[in-house]
């Protein structure tokens, strides 16, 4: 068993790490850390709001038993030498200073944005850009580290990049317009979105989100050269909105392809890609990487987000666009805390272990 620590274990993503690592066949979560607010408390008590005592836990699964009494450490009390791998679920400002301290000694898989845009850092989605993993070696050499920082993308980028990849490989992509309807849990818990602001409402702006999705999509779909990743030159434009849904980001996507293509061929390519995806057989890999619905009322977050335990990107409404000559449109749903962050990070760790990198 590989020894694992999670930093930021009390947050929205950290909680999902705790669930995803429960009874994992390869990884054992032996220590967790969070802010000074939580350090020294048993996990189950640290998850309660101090004033009301209300539990901060919105998952379909209960808090796993193995975690309830685990005492939360301070970050500085985590000895990296005791671990084979560290998962981080920290806000980006904290990750900026904390992650390098650990990566000097041990691999770090991160859900934060802090290092995503550096030249020697890949943004990894298992099954989409596995060849970019090679950059981790360059990062180690550049920085004289024993470990590395391997970030996942922003959770809104994940489903978009997953669905664009088969289209791009077969038909080429010129431009993409995407409008997202993003879940509340995507905003995290400190402080998160206040109920009074979001009930009966849609908030048409998420700070920094559109820029992140635009840059990350091009990097993930970019090409590896000797020392870095050359971003793909597809044009990406987004509008990101917050909606009153607990989990699961819905995205309305328009794609201008280089070649003319019928919608049914897009479905065929997505399903072919799903069938042959590289990460099959890993413990956390879903049975279906992508599902495509013909029913025009799907995907819906409440019905589709837990398919294959939140690891499947669910697509529907694939149709021809009438404005652009080579345009197609579709709707996708991706679970922001599962494939889009913690559970996707566990899948990445499994891929790195299978490649003997951790
Ligand atoms: N939420 C999502 O769906 C999602 C998806 C993809 C990526 N991400 C990214 O993942 C990261 C975590 O997001 P989140 O939504 O889980 O945020 P969150 O709910 O706000 O959780 C933040 C975590 O960091 C801890 N923390 C805060 N300040 C700290 C400090 N100074 N030292 C150590 N720990 C500290 C918090 O501990 P306390 O509980 O003790 O305050 C908590 O465990 C962010 O970078 C976010 O952008 C989030």
Interval 93-109: pLDDT, tens: 999 999 999 999 999 99
pLDDT at residue number 235 = 98
Q: Is the CB of 35 under 6 A from ligand 1?
A: yes
Q: How far apart are CA 191 and CA 187, in angstroms?
A: 8
pTM over 0.85: yes
pLDDT in tens, 22-50: 999 999 999 999 999 999 999 999 999 88
pLDDT at residue number 320 = 96
* Catalytic-residue membership of 249: yes
Residue of 50 and 85 predicted with greater confidence = 85
Residue 292 burial by Cβ neighbours in a 10 Å radius (0-12, 13-18, 19+): buried
pLDDT (mean) for 63-68: 95
* Catalytic-residue membership of 240: no
Q: How far apart are CA 233 and CA 248, in angstroms?
A: 28
pLDDT at residue number 50 = 86
pLDDT in tens, 253-298: 999 999 999 999 999 999 999 999 999 999 999 999 999 999 999 9
Closest C-alpha to ligand 1, atom 3: 186
pLDDT at residue number 39 = 97
Q: Is the CB of 185 under 6 A from ligand 1?
A: yes
Q: Is the CB of 344 under 6 A from ligand 1?
A: no
Atom of ligand 1 lying closest to residue 183 CA: 3
pLDDT in tens, 120-144: 999 999 999 999 999 999 999 999 9
pLDDT at residue number 190 = 87
Q: Which of 132, 155, 240, 335 is catalytic?
A: 155
The residue to mutate among 5, 35, 98, 113, having the most atoms of ligand 1 within 8 angstroms of its beta carbon, is: 35
The answer to whether the CB of 14 falls within 8 A of the CB of 39 is no
pLDDT in tens, 337-357: 999 999 999 999 999 999 999
pLDDT at residue number 223 = 96
Query: In degrees, to the nearest 5, what angle opens at C-alpha 152 toward C-alphas 242 and 14?
Result: 70
pLDDT at residue number 51 = 87
pLDDT (mean) for 170-193: 96
Q: Is the CB of 155 under 6 A from ligand 1?
A: yes
pLDDT (mean) for 323-327: 93
Percent of the chain with pLDDT over 70: 100
Q: Which of 238, 240, 249, 335 is catalytic?
A: 249
**What's the mean pLDDT when you consider all of the chain?**
97
The alpha carbon of 35 and the centre of ligand 1 are apart by a number of angstroms equal to: 10
pLDDT (mean) for 188-199: 93
Q: Is the CB of 336 under 6 A from ligand 1?
A: yes
Closest C-alpha to ligand 1, atom 40: 35
Q: For residue 226, is pLDDT > 90?
A: no
Q: Is the CB of 94 under 6 A from ligand 1?
A: yes
The residue to mutate among 49, 76, 90, 194, having the most atoms of ligand 1 within 8 angstroms of its beta carbon, is: 90
pLDDT (mean) for 214-226: 96
Closest C-alpha to ligand 1, atom 29: 35
Residue 9: which pLDDT band, with cuts at 50, 70 and 90? very high
């Amino acid at each position: 068993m590989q020894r694992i620590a999670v930093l930021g274990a009390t947050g929205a993503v950290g909680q999902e790490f705790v669930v995803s690592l429960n009874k994992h066949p390869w990884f054992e979560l032996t220590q967790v850390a969070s802010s000074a607010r939580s350090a020294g408390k048993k996990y189950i008590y640290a998850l309660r709001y101090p004033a009301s005592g209300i539990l901060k836990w919105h998952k379909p699964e209960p808090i796993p038993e193995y975690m309830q009494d685990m005492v939360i450490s301070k970050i500085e009390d985590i000895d990296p030498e005791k671990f084979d791998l560290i998962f981080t679920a920290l806000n980006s400002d904290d990750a900026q200073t904390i992650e390098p301290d650990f990566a000097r000694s041990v691999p770090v898989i991160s859900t934060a944005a802090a290092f995503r845009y550096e030249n020697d850092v890949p943004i990894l989605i298992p099954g989409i850009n596995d060849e970019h993993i090679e950059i981790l070696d360059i990062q180690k050499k550049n920085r004289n580290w024993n470990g590395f920082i391997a970030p996942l993308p922003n959770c809104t980028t994940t489903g978009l990049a997953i669905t664009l990849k088969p289209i791009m490989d077969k038909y080429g992509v010129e431009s993409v317009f995407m409008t997202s309807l993003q879940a509340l849990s995507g905003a995290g818990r400190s402080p998160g979105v206040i109920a009074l602001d979001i009930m009966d409402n849609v908030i048409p702006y998420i700070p920094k989100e559109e820029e992140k999705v635009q840059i990350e999509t091009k990097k993930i779909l970019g090409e590896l050269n000797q020392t870095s990743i050359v971003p793909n030159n597809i044009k990406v434009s987004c509008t990101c909105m917050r909606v009153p849904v607990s989990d699961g980001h819905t995205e309305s996507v328009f794609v201008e392809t280089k070649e003319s293509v019928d919608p049914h061929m897009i479905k065929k390519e997505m399903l072919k890609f799903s069938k042959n995806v590289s990460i099959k057989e890993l413990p956390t890999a879903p049975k279906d990487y992508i599902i495509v619905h013909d029913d025009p009322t799907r995907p819906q977050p409440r019905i589709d987000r837990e398919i294959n335990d939140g690891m499947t990107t669910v697509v529907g409404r694939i149709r021809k666009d009438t404005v652009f000559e080579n345009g197609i449109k579709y709707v996708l749903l991706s679970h922001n805390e599962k494939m889009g962050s913690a559970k996707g990070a566990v899948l990445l760790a499994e891929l790195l272990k299978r490649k003997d990198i951790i």
